[in-house]
Each structure stands twice: as structure tokens, then as C-alpha cells.
């Protein structure tokens, strides 16, 4: 087995020199500093995004809460509850980002990147609770109708909710894609949906203004339905991450890249998984039987470098080399190794 870490070295000349010497002496040993630095960088970007999002959504929710008290709008109440829940999702994500800074150890040998997946579960539960609260308030208002006042303020609050959520959505999605955080991207899409539910409050206010008192709780139910759709999408994303799902195109890219490496006679199974914001890969390749151990190891290193440069956010790869059984047929070697 040839285990290789992240070879995109950073730091001063002494760091690079020490790493090269260490690679010559112990070819399978790699510094963890690069990975810790990368984790710190993505964690800082994620935390900055979360704090700004929390501030914007907190301010938006506070303004809407005041207007809910003045107007008695259950549609706006549902939107306020959901915006508050969305702001609170910053808490588990923030904890996950902080944990992700910790280096791997002998107990958690892959580090603490999976904490973000646990945060995704907390986010899904938060969305579920907010949908229940919004549904309860809307149904209660349908059973016990009540006039809505200060319609102009309700309309303003709806517009404020849309602007706040759309800004947060753009910021979260942009940062999440840059640092490779599926949870942050999902949370950004969640905020975008919240923005459109805020606009739905305008429909309720308009209906009430036209004399249809049930428009407000009906819009509240529509908002609940929108929250449930977000819940479905968020749960699906979290499930895929927990089940080590990756984009099949990444696997295609990895296989095609390995085939271009000079000396690789065949490519077997390629596996990938997300750990935090980074990908890890395992790949089987076939080399000529006449190669020495040193030559086969050098070819594995070349294959690893090619993968890291070709696959976005790939931090480490384990490349297993097998040899042709008769010196000519790479497929026989892969079948012998158990690859497809």
C-alpha cells in the first residue's frame, strides 16, 4: 500500500527542505501542518460568514418580531420563526468549524472534519421544529380568526426579510463553494428559500387589505409547505454526506487522470469520500511486473500528484500498485486484486 498525503507544500524554504528530506528518509510520512493550515483557513472563512449571517438574520428577525406584535400577522410570525431558526443554525455550524481546526490524533486519525456532518443533522432538526411551529400557528389562526393591523408595516417587514435572506444566501453559497462546505451551501440555499417565503407574506397582507381575512393564515400554511420542501432537500444532502456520496464526475476525472500517468497500465477501483471540506481518495493501478519497488513507488507518487492537481479539493490519496500477472495483461492483475 502506498499512502500519500497533500503535496501542495506551503511555508518557507526550511519547511520545504525538511519535507523533502523527510520524504527521502521515510517516503510514507507527511507533515500534518499543511492540512492544519488549510483547515484553519477554511474555518476562519466559515466562521466569518456565520457571524455575519447571524448578525443580519438576527437583526431581520428582531424587526419582524416587533411588527408581529403590532400587527398580529401569523404569516409574518411563521416567517419570523423560520428566520430565527435559520440564524440559530450558525451555532452548530460554528462549533463544527472550530472542531475542524483540530489536528488528527491517534484516536481520530482522520481529524474532526466529520463534525460538520453532525452539524448538518442539527440543522435538519432545527428546520423540522420551525416547520412544526409555523404550522401550529397557522392552523390555530384558521380555527380562531383574528384581524391583522398595520398592513403597511407587515409589507415592509416582508421586504426586509427577503433582502436579508437573499444577502445571506449569496454570501453563504459563495463561501461554501469556495471552502468546500456542503453544509454551508445547503444553509445558503435554505436562506434563499426563506427569502421567497418572506415575499409570500406580501400576498397575505394584500389579501387582508382586500378584505379576505383568511389570506394571512393561508399564507402561513404556504410558508410551512415551503419549509418542508427545504427540510426535504437539506435532509437529502446530509444523508448523502453521511453515506460518503460524491459527484460521479469526480470519480470519472480521477480515473481519466490516472490513465494519463506514464507507466500506468490499468486503473482499478477508485473510491472517494468527504472529510470536512476536503476529499480523500483510494485508487488501484497496474504497473509493469519488471519494475523495482523503488520504481513502482515513484509511479504511485506520480499518480498521487496527478490526482491532487486534477481533482478539486482532493487533499490526500492512497494509491495501491499491482503488477501485471504475465507482464502483458493489466486486467488480469486487477481481477486478481478484486477490482472491477
- Sequence ranges of the chain with CATH classification 3.30.70.1350: 2-8+246-337
Cβ pair 166, 192 in contact under 8 A: yes
Enumerate the H helices of the chain as residue ranges: 13-25, 33-71, 74-88, 90-100, 115-143, 151-179, 182-209, 215-242, 248-260, 293-310, 330-337
pTM value?
A: 0.68
How far apart are alpha carbons 271 and 273 in whole angstroms? 7
Distance from first CA to last CA of the chain, Å, rounded?
A: 18
Q: Which residues pair with 285 in a beta bridge?
A: 267, 321
| 287 backbone dihedrals φ, ψ, rounded to 5° | -125, 170
- Please, which residues have CB within 8 angstroms of residue 241's CB and are 6 or more apart in sequence? 117, 120, 182, 183, 274
Fold classified for 2-8+246-337: Alpha-Beta Plaits (3.30.70)
Q: Domain 33-242: give its CATH superfamily.
A: Cation efflux protein transmembrane domain (1.20.1510.10)
* Residue 55: Cβ within 10 Å count: 13
| 318 backbone dihedrals φ, ψ, rounded to 5° | -110, 115
Residue written as grid cell 519497488: 293
As a whole number of Å, the CA-based R_g of the chain is 26
Helix (H, G, I), strand (E, B) or coil at 328: coil
How far apart are alpha carbons 231 and 132 in whole angstroms? 11
- Sequence ranges of the chain with CATH classification 1.20.1510.10: 33-242
pLDDT (tens digit, 0 to 9) for every residue of the chain, 340 residues total? 444 444 443 334 333 433 333 333 333 333 333 444 444 456 677 788 888 888 888 888 888 889 888 888 877 887 788 778 777 777 887 888 788 778 889 999 888 888 888 888 888 888 788 778 778 877 877 787 777 777 888 888 888 888 888 898 888 888 888 877 766 777 787 777 777 777 778 777 888 788 787 787 787 788 788 778 878 888 888 888 889 999 999 999 999 999 999 999 999 999 999 887 789 999 999 999 999 999 999 999 999 999 999 998 898 999 999 987 655 555 555 555 554 4
Amino acid at each position: 500500500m502506498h499512502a500519500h498525503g497533500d503535496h501542495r507544500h506551503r511555508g518557507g524554504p526550511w519547511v520545504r527542505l525538511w519535507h523533502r528530506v523527510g520524504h527521502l528518509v521515510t517516503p510514507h510520512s507527511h507533515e500534518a501542518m499543511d492540512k492544519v493550515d488549510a483547515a484553519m483557513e477554511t474555518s476562519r472563512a466559515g466562521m466569518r460568514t456565520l457571524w455575519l449571517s447571524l448578525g443580519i438574520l438576527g437583526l431581520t428577525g428582531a424587526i419582524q418580531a416587533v411588527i408581529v406584535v403590532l400587527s398580529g400577522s401569523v404569516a409574518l410570525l411563521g416567517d419570523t420563526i423560520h428566520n430565527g431558526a435559520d440564524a440559530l443554525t450558525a451555532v452548530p455550524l460554528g462549533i463544527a468549524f472550530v472542531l475542524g481546526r483540530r489536528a488528527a490524533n491517534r484516536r481520530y486519525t482522520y481529524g474532526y472534519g466529520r463534525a460538520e456532518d453532525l452539524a448538518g443533522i442539527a440543522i435538519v432538526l432545527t428546520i423540522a421544529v420551525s416547520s412544526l411551529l409555523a404550522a401550529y400557528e397557522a392552523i390555530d389562526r384558521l380555527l380562531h380568526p383574528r384581524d391583522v393591523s398595520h398592513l403597511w408595516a407587515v409589507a415592509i417587514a416582508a421586504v426586509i426579510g427577503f433582502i436579508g435572506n437573499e444577502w445571506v444566501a449569496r454570501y453563504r453559497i459563495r463561501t461554501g463553494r469556495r471552502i468546500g462546505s456542503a453544509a454551508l451551501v445547503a444553509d445558503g440555499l435554505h436562506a434563499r428559500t426563506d427569502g421567497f417565503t418572506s415575499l409570500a407574506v406580501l400576498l397575505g397582507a394584500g389579501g387582508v387589505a382586500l378584505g379576505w381575512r383568511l389570506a394571512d393564515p393561508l399564507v402561513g400554511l404556504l410558508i410551512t409547505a415551503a419549509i418542508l420542501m427545504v427540510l426535504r432537500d437539506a435532509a437529502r444532502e446530509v444523508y448523502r454526506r453521511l453515506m460518503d456520496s460524491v459527484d460521479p464526475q469526480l470519480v470519472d476525472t480521477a480515473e481519466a487522470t490516472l490513465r494519463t500517468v506514464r507507466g500506468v497500465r490499468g486503473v482499478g477501483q477508485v473510491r472517494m469520500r468527504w472529510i470536512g471540506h476536503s476529499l480523500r481518495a483510494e485508487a488501484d493501478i497496474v504497473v509493469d511486473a519488471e519494475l523495482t519497488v523503488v520504481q513502482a513507488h515513484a509511479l504511485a507518487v506520480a499518480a498521487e500528484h496527478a490526482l491532487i492537481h486534477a481533482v478539486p479539493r482532493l487533499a490526500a490519496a492512497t494509491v495501491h500498485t499491482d503488477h501485471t500477472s504475465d507482464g502483458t495483461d493489466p486486467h488480469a492483475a486487477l481481477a486478481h486484486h478484486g477490482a472491477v
